[in-house]
Each structure stands twice: as structure tokens, then as C-alpha cells.
Amino acid sequence: MAVPRGAIAADPLAENDAASRAGPFARHGIRLPLALSEAPDEAGVVRDADGREVFTVNTEGTWPDPTAHAVAALLLGRANVAAPRAPAEATEFLASALDGVRTLLAPIAEECDAALAALQIADDALADLRDRAGAVP
């Protein structure tokens, strides 16, 4: 297929390659892919490809380990697949991640006070994000 004069040909393989979308992470010294820590005493800890800690879900340790792992896995999966390239994409990414957290926590929130508190925090964060960004879906 011919590329119009002055246009830049897009490489469809590069666009689907996580490394090509890792710019914002790389600028902060974070190398994709992210992964859950394998250490048994680090429930909810996410590390980069070099083994450096990137973030921790449930820093207070109030959630059961499987819940912390599930939330961390959801977030790191989203980061690995949809690493944002621009502020608008970062906003969409964060909204999507918060929606995912809400989806995970909603079924257990009625039975677990910590999950209910986390669900309320996710709801508040999503509302704040939508207020600041305008019309985040």
C-alpha cells in the first residue's frame, strides 16, 4: 500500500509491541513488562523487568493476600497492555484501572470492611478523575 507524500508509514507490528508504548515508563526508569513479586511476604508488590519495585497494592496489609494479588495483577496487566503515551491516554488508563478495581471489589465489599473501604476510595478517585478531566468515559 502506498504512503501519501509527507506521511509517515506506521509499522503495525511496532504499534502492537508493548516496548513501543513504554515511553512514559522508560522515562522514569521502569522497564516493562511489570510482574507480581514472587516473594511470599510481598503480596501486592509489583516489580519491573529489572526486579525493581514499582508499586504496592494494599500497603497497610489489611486485605487478604489473594485480594491484593488480584488487584495488583489487574493493574499491572493493564499497564503492560496499554502503557499510556500521552496525558489523555494516561487519564483513560487510570479510569479503566479504577473501573477494574471496582469490578473486583464490588462482589466482596458487603462481606469485608477493608474491601468496602477500598471500593469507596476507588469510587471517589474515579469521580475526582472525571471531574478534573471533563468527560472521562
pLDDT in tens, 30-52: 887 788 888 888 989 999 888 99
Q: Domains in the chain: how many in total?
A: 1
pLDDT in the model for residue 22: 58
**Where on the phi/psi map is residue 61: left (φ > 0), alpha (ψ -120 to 50), or beta?**
left
Does residue 4 lie within any of the structural domains? no
pLDDT in the model for residue 15: 43
Q: Is the pTM of this model over 0.95?
A: no
Tell me, rounded to whole angstroms, the distance of Cα 48 from its chain centroid. Answer: 13
Q: Can you count the helices (H) and strands (E) in the chain?
A: 5, 3
pLDDT in tens, 96-108: 778 778 878 888 8
Does residue 112 lie within any of the structural domains? yes
**Full strand arrangement of the beta sheet holding 53-56:** 35-36, 45-47, 53-56
pLDDT in the model for residue 131: 82
The label of the residue with cell 469490578 reads 103
Measure Cα distances from 123 to 29, 63, 68 in Å.
30, 18, 18
> What residue numbers bound the domain in which 129 lies?
18-133
